[in-house]
């Protein structure tokens, strides 16, 4: 650790902003790779601070008269020698992660996810995601067939009243001209996997609930609701539990309730003969996919996504679990 400290203290990068990012990722790892703004906040312009002229003959006073665009963007002259102080950034990140770790320990001591045990036992509903600000949108990822060369477009933004989110775009089933792709035309939004201290993967525990509860307003298109469980193992990275959500269209909100027992198991986009029950104690993410092969615009408005316990629903698994058909599950 002392050797790494000395190494980082002695590093100076000139002209090569791209190499700065590469060195940061290589030496510091994924924990500190996503925070360039904090690292660059500790940059000291040594020559400007001392009042000496730059290699081009510009004094500190002249440098202040740079164009407004350069000042706003915080651009650094490629010939200017800069010094990056890693210690301050590293200490700030470690301090922040230890704060998260302390919060996790305190919440664990109080009860599940920081709620007292008696409240958890009496809890019948829980709102997992709601859409009230731009920070709520940052918890989601938007993808489309553009990743494989398709032409669909998808966007996610807050509604004008700031009380819901709009997932909208244009679905296009035209195949990319690569000679390999046989199917195209999908748009999806997926929740980010929760992260704890030191970028550890966290999971949602929904074992006290048996139903997914959504309040949406669609345009009449059918959507696929996808739930992903623990994906630490490589062979499970393509596993999904899915069910259909049929929207009505029109101006009225629609409350959708989907029991967890209805979700069917698929792998790499194919429904499997051997069905497995959804285990709700390690949920990593939830998502919505549109792939109904109908070209044109689409729009799905979301108010909140939650879970609740329906005492009237007693079904454990809706699909056949015959060992002669499915094998040993």
Residues 164, 78, single domain; the answer is: no
* CA–CA gap between residue 6 and residue 241 (Å, rounded): 49
Same domain flag for 163 and 240:
yes
Q: Identify whether residues 205 and 128 lie together within a single domain.
A: yes
Final residue of a domain: which of 61, 88, 115? 88
How many domains is the chain built from? Answer: 2
pLDDT (0 to 100) of residue 38: 43
Look at residue 196 in the predicted model and tell me its pLDDT: 82
Q: Which segment of 37-41, 87-91, 250-254 scores lowest on mean pLDDT?
A: 37-41
Choice between 115 and 304, residue whose per-residue pLDDT is larger: 304
101 is a domain residue = no
- Confidence band, pLDDT 50/70/90 cuts, at residue 310: very high
Model confidence band, residue 326 (pLDDT cutoffs 50, 70, 90): low
Q: 299 and 206, same structural domain?
A: yes
Residues 242 and 298 placed together within one structural domain of the fold: yes
- Within 10 angstroms of residue 263's Cβ, the number of other Cβ atoms is 24
Residue 141 · residue 129 · CB < 8 Å: no
Full DSSP string of 210-278? -EEEEEEE--S-EEEEEEEE---SGGGTTEEEEEEEE---SSS-EEEEEEGGGPEEEETTEE-SS--PP
Query: Range of 146's domain?
Result: 123-326
pLDDT band of residue 280 (cuts 50, 70, 90) is very high
Residue 217 lies in a domain: yes
* Angle formed at CA 236 by CA 304 and CA 325, multiple of 5 degrees: 100
Residues 130 and 252 grouped into a single domain: yes
Average pLDDT score over residue span 296-316 = 94
Give tens-digit pLDDT for 255-277. 999 999 999 999 888 888 888 88
CATH number at residue 145: 2.60.120.430
Note whether 151 and 224 are same-domain residues.
yes
**Cβ-count burial of 178 within 10 angstroms (0-12 exposed, 13-18 middle, 19+ buried)?**
exposed
252 is a domain residue: yes
Task: With respect to residue 112, please indicate whether it lies within any of the assigned structural domains.
Answer: no
Is residue 328 pLDDT above 90, yes or no? no
End-to-end Cα distance, the chain: 47
Q: Is residue 205 in a domain?
A: yes
User: Are 224 and 285 found together in one domain?
Assistant: yes
Same-domain check for residues 206 and 144: yes
Q: What is the pLDDT of residue 131?
A: 96
pLDDT computed for residue 63 by the predictor: 41
pLDDT band at 194 (very low <50, low <70, confident <90, very high): confident
Among the three residues 64, 88, 112, which one is the final residue of a domain in this structure?
88
Q: Is the pLDDT of residue 299 over 80?
A: yes
Cβ-Cβ contacts under 8 Å for 157 (sequence gap 6 or more): 137, 165, 166, 168
* Range with the poorest average pLDDT among 151-155, 158-162, 169-173, 266-270: 266-270
Q: Between β-strands 165-171 and 270-271, what pairing exists: parallel, antiparallel or unpaired? A: unpaired
> Percent of the chain at pLDDT above 70?
67
pLDDT tens per residue, range 61-80: 444 444 444 444 455 555 56
Q: Which of the two residues, 128 and 104, has the higher pLDDT score?
A: 128
Closest CA to 22 of 31, 33, 6, 12: 33
54 within domain boundaries: yes
Rounded Cα distance between 246 and 296, Å, is 17
């Amino acid at each position: 650790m002392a050797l790494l400290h000395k190494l980082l203290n002695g590093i100076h990068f000139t002209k090569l902003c791209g190499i700065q990012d590469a060195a940061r990722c290589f030496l510091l790892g994924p924990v500190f790779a996503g925070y360039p703004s904090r690292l660059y906040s500790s940059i000291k312009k040594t020559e400007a601070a001392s009042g000496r002229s730059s290699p081009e003959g510009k004094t500190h006073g002249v440098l202040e008269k740079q164009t407004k665009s350069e000042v706003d963007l915080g651009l650094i002259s490629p010939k200017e020698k800069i010094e990056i102080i890693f210690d301050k950034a590293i200490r700030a990140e470690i301090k922040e992660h230890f704060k998260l770790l302390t919060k996790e320990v305190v919440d664990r001591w109080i009860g599940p996810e920081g709620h007292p045990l008696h409240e958890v036992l009496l809890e019948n509903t829980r709102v997992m995601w709601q859409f009230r600000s731009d920070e709520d949108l940052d918890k989601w990822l938007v993808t489309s067939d553009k990743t494989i060369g398709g032409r669909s477009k998808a966007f996610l933004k807050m509604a004008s009243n700031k009380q819901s989110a709009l997932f909208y775009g244009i679905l296009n089933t035209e195949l990319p001209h690569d000679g390999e792709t046989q199917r195209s035309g999908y748009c999806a939004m997926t929740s980010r996997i929760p992260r704890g201290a030191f970028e550890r993967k966290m999971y949602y525990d929904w074992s006290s609930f048996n139903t997914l509860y959504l309040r949406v307003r669609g345009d009449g298109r059918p959507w696929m609701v996808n739930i992903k469980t623990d994906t630490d193992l490589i062979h499970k990275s393509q596993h999904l539990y899915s069910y259909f959500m049929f929207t009505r269209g029109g101006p009225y909100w629609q409350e959708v309730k989907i029991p967890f027992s209805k979700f069917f198991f698929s792998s790499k986009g194919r429904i499997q003969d051997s069905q497995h029950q959804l285990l709700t104690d390690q949920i990593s993410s939830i998502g919505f996919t549109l792939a109904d092969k109908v070209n044109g615009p689409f729009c799905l408005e979301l108010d909140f996504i939650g879970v609740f316990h329906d005492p009237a629903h007693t079904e454990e698994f809706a699909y056949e679990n015959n060992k002669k058909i499915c094998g040993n599950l």
